[in-house]
Homo-oligomer: A and B are copies of this chain.
Amino acid sequence: MKINLTTQRKAVYDIILQAHDHPTAADVIERLRAAGHNFAYGTVYNSLRYLTDNDLIRELKLGEAASRYDARTEDHHHIVCIKCGRVDEVMTDVPQQWMEAVAEETGYVVHEATINLEGVCPACKTSKP
């Protein structure tokens, strides 16, 4: 079906497109308010789901309480700073050979691998305790 970008969906999409910090639904609502929009709570969730289902954005589950959203739909992974909570992109892809080893080990047909890393970001490395 053709994609129907209503005012609300477009506004939500724009927030995600402009963000570079993988915002949560709560972040999105906050930024919509700041931009003068005041959509119903559920509409924002519906929009995020709609955009996700239509592959315009991606939903990230990084093991935190709330999902985050990402306008980059290419295959990539994420690393979270354990000091400041910052989330960065990991474009380096896992070796195909490793995926094959997993298929071999488990007997599964492997569809995809979601990789969430943890570490200390450059800024936090050089900051006082």
Contact = CB atoms under 8 A, between A and B. Distances in A.
Interface residues of A, number: 35
Nearest to A116: B114
Q: How many copies does the complex hold?
A: 2
A110 B81 CA distance: 9
A108 interface: yes
Contacts of A122: 107-108
Interface string A57-94: 00001010000000000000001011000001111101
A81 B82 CA distance: 30
A117 interface: yes
A26 interface: no
Contacts of A117: 102, 108, 110-114
Contacts of A105: 90-92
A22 to B, nearest CB: 14
Interface of A: 61, 63, 79, 81-82, 88-92, 94-95, 98, 101-103, 105-122, 125
13 contacts: A79-B108, A81-B108, A92-B105, A94-B115, A102-B117, A103-B119, A106-B121, A108-B117, A108-B122, A109-B125, A110-B119, A111-B118, A114-B116
